[in-house]
A and B are shown apart, each in its own frame.
Chain A
Amino acid sequence: MNERLLSILVTALLALMLFSGCSEVSEIGTKFARDAGMISSDQADSLTRSTKAIEKTQQELTPEQEHYIGRAVTAKVFQSYPPLDRPQANAYLNLLGQSLAVFSDRPETFGGYHFLLLDSDEVNAFAAPGGLILVTRGMLRCCESEDELAAVLAHEICHVEMKHGLRSIKQGRLTEAFTVIAAESAKQLGSEELASLTREFEASVGDVVMTLTTSGYSRTQERDADAAAVELLRRAGYPEAAMITMLQRMDERLADAGGLGFAKTHPSAKSRENALRSTVTNTVFVPDAVRRERFSAVMRPIMVGG
């Protein structure tokens, strides 16, 4: 039998068995196929490995794979939201962001946390898997001090920490990808496998970008990120009330934005604020003068600029 056809048939058979939720059956099926001389011993081993790999899609991608997904997600977001080329402001953003990330439950990712401003008036911020975090000029305008910007970054860092971006990848894509990965674990990918893997990779990246820019995370994920962000601010020494103040400002700005940007992908700022009321006990926010000053010195020209 044509090897390719055989492979398609057996893969379909295994997929069917897996979707019925029975891995033992698939192992028996593989054994049967080998014993019946339908496939060679090597093919049987390979299929057993593939089957196990498909089962493993429920598990986490490695930090290295997360890193490459995050890089491509970021590159794709840049197609709609151009980067803001202001080195001084971006350096400050990274200093603030990375000084928060060290207090996270996941202080290190494969390539580390990095931050960049986007040249967009839309009120929005994005966290790509692996720690690439983007903040629009419009979002910056919702912040009047370093402490409020810290609240925005803390929220995004927590999305990375909880791997919310990766969870938006449709399971079927990873199933496909892991099959190729398992079959080709021993060597450089051949052109066909590379094409197949690239296809699944692009589709996975597309799933994440769609979630970040259009459909949004679930309300539960947003609330989890908010609650963790408050804890992160607390650990880093920032007043947690800055989170509430930032949400209030965002609420005001979003009311004028006509449901675009953040409003489209996030629960209302008001409901997020209400959910945090029990966590944040002291809501009186008095920003530190030094921090407010250094924030204004770098960011004010960008906030007022076109």
Chain B
Amino acid sequence: MKVRSLVVLLVLSGSVALAASMSVQVQKSKVRATPSQLGRAVATVEYGDMVQAGQEQNGWYPVTTADGIKGWLHESVLSEKQIAMRAGVTDTAVGVSNDEVALAGKGFNEQVEAKLKADGTLDFTWVDRMAAYNVDPEEILTFRSQGHLPGGDQ
């Protein structure tokens, strides 16, 4: 097993106690310098990206990205399954079971949404407008500080 060999190698090298490959299961996320959603962003990861993750600590994994950048990702971002991004890659073709690989876009997906739009069943205009309301951590920090909200542990 690739993962097991990697773990053995890392343990032997003495650099990390435990590490495993994990996949990013959300559209986009930021690797943080500290284990906090409001921590400084050091890298961006996207759906299906693989990272090397160490031992989870209070819901946070220390990770190393494919580019070698180290930081932290919350457990809600990561999946133990590998996420296959390309259409046409079957579970059997990569030689592992469904338990280890999830195919991105499988099931309820953009194609299904597009059909509902085309049929005139649902209008997503306002859903898209709503999804465009994004707030970055800097704004949150300012909002919290102006509103006299104490530091607050995550």
- Residues of chain A touching chain B, judged by Cβ–Cβ distance below 8 Å, are 45, 49, 52-53, 56, 61-65, 67-69, 71-72, 74-76, 78-79, 83, 90-91, 94-96, 98-99, 102-103, 105-112, 114-116, 132, 146, 177-178, 181-182, 185-189, 194-195, 197-198, 201-202, 204, 235-238, 288, 290-291, 294
Which of A62, A63, A107, A114 is B37 in contact with, Cβ under 8 Å? A107
B 122-154 binary contact with A (CB < 8 Å = 1; else 0): 111011011101110101100110111111111
In the complex, whether B5 has a CB less than 8 A from a CB of chain A is no
Return the chain B residue nearest A106 by Cβ: B76
Which of A68, A189, A290 is B146 in contact with, Cβ under 8 Å? A290
Stretch in contact with the other chain, from B6-14, B49-57, B63-71, B104-112: B104-112
Return the chain A residue nearest B149 by Cβ: A237
B 1-44 binary contact with A (CB < 8 Å = 1; else 0): 00000000000000000000000011101000000011000000
Considering only CB atoms and an 8 Å cut-off, how many residues of chain B contact the other chain?
59
Tell me the smallest distance from the CB of A304 to a CB of chain B, in Å: 23
In the complex, whether B100 has a CB less than 8 A from a CB of chain A is no
Tell me the smallest distance from the CB of A161 to a CB of chain B, in Å: 9
Would you call B127 and A74 a contact (CB within 8 A)? yes
Provide the residues of chain B in CB contact with A108, threshold 8 Å. 26, 29, 37, 74, 76-77
CA distance A273 to B55 in the complex (A): 40
B 66-92 binary contact with A (CB < 8 Å = 1; else 0): 000000001011000000000111111
Would you call A181 and B135 a contact (CB within 8 A)? no
